[in-house]
Amino acid sequence: MMKFSARFEGRFPHVIVVGGGFAGLELVRQFKNQPFEVTLIDKQNFHTFQPLLYQLASGGIGPDGIAYPLRKIVGVIPNIRFRMAEVQSVDLVQKCVKTNVGTFPYDYLILATGAATHFFGNKAIEAQAFGLKSIQDALALRSSILLRFEKAINASSKDERLSHLHFVVVGGGPTGVETAGALIEMKQHVLPVDYRELDASEMKVTLIEASPRILAAMSPTSSERARLDLEQMGVEVKLGVAVQSYQSGVIRLSDGENLKAETLIWSAGVKGAFPEGLDASLVGKSNRLMVNRYLQLQSHHDVWVVGDVALVVGDEQYPNGHPMVAPVAVQQAKIAAFNIKSQANGKPLRAFKYRDNGSMATIGRHKAVMEAMGFKLSGILAWLGWMFLHLMLLVGFRNRLIVFINWMWNYFSYQRAIRLITRQDVFTGQNQKSAYQNENQ
Amino acid sequence: MMKFSARFEGRFPHVIVVGGGFAGLELVRQFKNQPFEVTLIDKQNFHTFQPLLYQLASGGIGPDGIAYPLRKIVGVIPNIRFRMAEVQSVDLVQKCVKTNVGTFPYDYLILATGAATHFFGNKAIEAQAFGLKSIQDALALRSSILLRFEKAINASSKDERLSHLHFVVVGGGPTGVETAGALIEMKQHVLPVDYRELDASEMKVTLIEASPRILAAMSPTSSERARLDLEQMGVEVKLGVAVQSYQSGVIRLSDGENLKAETLIWSAGVKGAFPEGLDASLVGKSNRLMVNRYLQLQSHHDVWVVGDVALVVGDEQYPNGHPMVAPVAVQQAKIAAFNIKSQANGKPLRAFKYRDNGSMATIGRHKAVMEAMGFKLSGILAWLGWMFLHLMLLVGFRNRLIVFINWMWNYFSYQRAIRLITRQDVFTGQNQKSAYQNENQ
């Protein structure tokens, strides 16, 4: 085994990985103890397990179950170091990455910078709606949901009260479906116990999807099953309508209907997120960076792009790009690592081909849909399978244990134990929060 | 058993309890199913177990172990309701409490509003130092400590690096001692694993106490034992010196010495915290409200004050007031509840007499001091006793379980698992945070 010193010596090619998401973690695994010096850069000091953010927002689990310190992973690997830094720009000509803590030159650059909530240019919605892409987003939403219940008690009219108790989720993908399900379970199990002063039947959850069905990545059978489950639990599902505007607590829909709601959760779209300094000619659909089938930028074969931010050009099976999900990110990370090692050794590269292992979404207690290897599953078995797979995908035994205990607790008590309002300051929506962060950093 | 409706009907005297700390929770217990209608008011929606805030700040446990939703306690009690509200003022003549969600009239008022960090008028220190009185304080400190490590890596000089790695704790009470111990354990077990790039020996923890010994509430033997334990672990303990100023990262001490440190943690004093509208003649030493031995305001026998904010006048054993600790708060809550019930029924009141069950502080792994019923204990037995008692005092089985699991995990892994920087925005100190909260609420 090779020996590496704590400080890099430049004996080996320097690989910079930007982003500690699913792809970033897989890259760490692939480069561990290999003849490369690797710098992992992320603006947070932890990996976020995004698929469970909705449970953080609804008080089912705490941040410590789904966030994992990146240094805990990287700390013990001699040839990999971590830098908590905000990447300001990438210079493809000088081959360096500029960050708020200094400039890092690279031999190989891998962008695994993920995706951000896509508001399709609607600034008013962006300023007021909640996204669900980060721990901070989810904590802000948790505080806001619970504050709405408090405000409903003190409302001066029934109209105002109903508006506080109406939660509108936009986007019928897995995140939207799971969030709507979690909210309606709060109506069933939290509201009647914690808020005797309120009439729980006044709480309302609406799920809005612009296309004709939810969970469009799954079969029509699973979509229909999920819709029926949601409706049976009390969610109003509106299909084939889009949100046009959100002004003074009124959501205007494309079919002319107006919904009054103080809370709008936006899971209707994501777009690639990447640093400045990359030419517009590199950017394709959904703001993703276009790469060849080896996952390289066409113009710069020392730059690799993986995960949500990558748009593979020339894969006829996925002409609009691969789905922005963890399995794609992990599989691409493996190929990118393999190809960088091959390129360094003058060996042939391998093209990326996505192996789709299926898809799933949980709806509520004993309710989920799952499709894998040609099988369709729903109900309690799919629900148990969903939980098992998510536990296994969490990073580290401690986090699995903590999430498992919370799930058991929630299951048997019917509660969401962590209903804490820790962020009174951010309840008005994510944009106020961002504005503050920008000012004060 | 009496029947109460969800909305109060005024059939029974209305008791308002302001504050959901240790005293507030005991009052809830004492008034449960009694012929009173009780409104519990707190500006947070959860009870905070303050004795373990230092472990939240050092990443050993998460907020969900030591914060407990107040509605989870009050929700099932028919004659008690909760209102999350900021009390703006108290009107002793009109007998009402004005809050940001409305005005509440009372028959009996109990102020259990606790204490706030006392900076003794030093605005510069207040603006830059961290207190440890709330979940938000502790989360801000956790993020700041971890950010200092990150900044140390990127420091441009040794001087700057040492300043990032120097943590100064002011105040040698249990909070200061426990915080200093937790910080030095991060030096021993977290820094060498997570931050290979740093020389762990450059991290420094200094504990400053103005009086001649730490843990002044305990015997000189225990004080000395704690000091020796801290020094053996690597903490520099400075006795008999006070902090005079804190400017541009330099702490000036009363003996003329200057310490360079980017982090100042202030546990040197607390003062009573209470709403406006109370005459200055009611306020005594340490900003506490003066009460008679029945715990009533002298001038208004329908107003009761308990816990940290109460200053009992006429107890010759405690001429400077009782210690600001949980056992005093709980015992006073019992007496206040008893006396209100007696007064309502025309029966004689009972004077408060503090039964001191002892005192303890933990220093680090296998290290603690404990004094109870004439016994002095230190080392591993005191440490186990400290953990057992704190687990028992936590509210709810779930929180005990979560804290217990985290403690076991930390013990066997030597780690502080929850080293997450979730609040980059507040790392510059608590006052910037408060300013922001005031602006945005």
Q: Band of the pLDDT at A432, cuts 50, 70, 90?
A: very low
Inter-chain touch A46–B420, beta carbons under 8 Å:
yes
**Inter-chain contact B405–A402, Cβ cutoff 8 Å?**
yes
Average pLDDT of chain B, as a whole number: 92
DSSP assignment letter at A280: G
Angstrom distance (rounded) from CA B354 to CA B331: 7
Give me the domains of chain B, ranges plus CATH numbers: 14-43+85-117+271-344 (3.50.50.60), 123-268+365-438 (3.50.50.100)
Q: Does any CB of chain B come closer than 8 Å to the CB of residue A435?
A: no
Three-point CA angle A98, A102, A106, nearest 5°: 55
Helix (H, G, I), strand (E, B) or coil at A216: coil
Asked whether the whole model's pTM tops 0.90, one would answer yes
Determine contact, residues B66/B49, Cβ cutoff 8 Å. Answer: yes
Within 10 angstroms of residue B374's Cβ, the number of other Cβ atoms is 6
Whether the pLDDT of residue B220 is over 90: the answer is yes
Inform me whether the C-beta atom of residue B9 falls under 8 Å from chain A C-beta atoms. Answer: no
Neighbours of A404 (CB within 10 A): 15
What's the mean pLDDT in B210-225? 96
- The residues with which B186 forms a beta bridge, in sequence order, are none
Q: Biggest alpha carbon distance in chain B?
A: 73
Residue A30 near residue A112 (C-beta atoms within 8 A) = no
Q: Decide if A63 touches B, using CB distance below 8 A.
A: yes
Q: In sequence order, what are the residues at sequence separation of 6 or more whose Cβ sits closer than 8 angstroms to the Cβ of residue B305? A: B110, B111, B112, B289, B291, B295, B296, B297
Task: Give the distance, in angstroms, between the CA of residue A232 and the centroid of all CA atoms in the same chain.
Answer: 27
Q: Which residues of A are catalytic?
A: 178
User: Which 342-401 residues of chain A touch chain B by CB within 8 A?
Assistant: 398, 401
Question: Would you call A78 exposed, middle or buried from its count of C-beta atoms within 10 A (0-12, 13-18, 19+)?
Answer: middle
Tokens 């010096």 found at:
A37
Task: Please identify which residue in the block is written with the tokens 């200092």.
Answer: B148
The pLDDT of residue B57 is above 90? yes
Span A9-33, mean pLDDT? Answer: 95
CA pair distance B20, B25, nearest whole angstrom? 6
Contact B56, B66 (CB under 8 A): yes
Q: What share of chain A in percent tops pLDDT 70?
A: 94
> Which residue on chain A is closest to B398 by alpha carbon?
A409
The answer to whether B421 contacts A45, with C-beta atoms less than 8 Å apart, is yes
State how far the Cα of A22 lies from the Cα of B425, in Å rounded to an integer: 25
Give residue B32's pLDDT: 97
Instruction: Give the CA angle between residues B97, B99, B104 to the nearest 5°.
Output: 40
Q: What is the mean pLDDT of residues B199-204?
A: 97
pLDDT, mean of residues B390-410:
92
A417 touches chain B (CB under 8 A): yes
Q: Which of B67, B193, B420 sits opposite A420 (nearest CB)?
A: B67
What confidence tier does B80 reach under pLDDT thresholds 50, 70, 90? very high
Is residue A101 classed exposed, middle or buried when 0-12, 13-18 and 19+ CB atoms within 10 A define those classes?
Answer: middle
**Overall average pLDDT of the A404-416 stretch:** 91
Q: What is the pLDDT of residues A268-327, one digit of tens each?
A: 999 999 999 899 999 999 999 999 999 999 999 999 999 999 999 999 999 999 999 999
Check residue B18 and give its pLDDT: 98
ipTM of predicted assembly, 2 dp:
0.90
How much is the pLDDT for A5? 45
**A5 touching chain B per CB within 8 A:** no
Separation between Cα atoms, residue B421 and residue B113, nearest integer Å: 30
pLDDT score at B67? 96
B352-372 tens-digit pLDDT: 999 998 999 999 999 999 998
Q: Is B196's CB within 8 Å of A135's CB?
A: no
- In the predicted structure, residue B330 carries a pLDDT above the cut 70: yes
Q: Quote the CA–CA distance of A425 and A436 in Å, as a whole number.
A: 10
What's the rounded Cα separation, in Å, for the pair A103 and A119?
A: 32
Whether pLDDT at B3 is above 80: no
* Torsion from C-alpha of B31, B32, B33, B34, nearest 10 degrees: -10
Dihedral sign from CA coordinates of A296, A300, A304, A307 = negative
CA distance linking residue A325 with residue A348, whole number of Å: 28
- Confidence band for A434, pLDDT divided at 50, 70 and 90: very low
Q: Which long-range contacts (CB under 8 A, 24 or more apart) does B88-95 make?
A: B88/B275, B88/B276, B89/B275, B89/B276, B89/B277, B90/B275, B90/B276, B90/B277, B90/B278, B90/B303, B91/B277, B92/B277, B92/B278, B92/B297, B92/B299, B92/B300, B92/B303, B95/B302
Mean pLDDT for chain A?
Answer: 92
Q: Summarize pLDDT for A192-242 with one digit per residue, the tens.
A: 999 999 999 999 999 999 999 999 999 999 999 999 999 999 999 999 999
B174-201: average pLDDT: 95
What is the spatial distance between Cα A225 and Cα A219, in angstroms, rounded to a whole number?
Answer: 10
Q: For B105-146, write each residue's pLDDT tens digit.
A: 999 999 999 999 999 999 999 999 999 999 999 999 999 999
Asked if residues A376 and A221 have their Cβ atoms less than 8 Å apart, the reply is yes
Q: Does B83 touch chain A (CB under 8 A)?
A: yes
Tokens 């009496």 -> residue: B2
Helices (H) and strands (E) in chain A, counts: 14, 24
Pairs of CB atoms within 8 A across A/B: 134
What sign does the CA torsion over B200, B201, B202, B206 have? positive
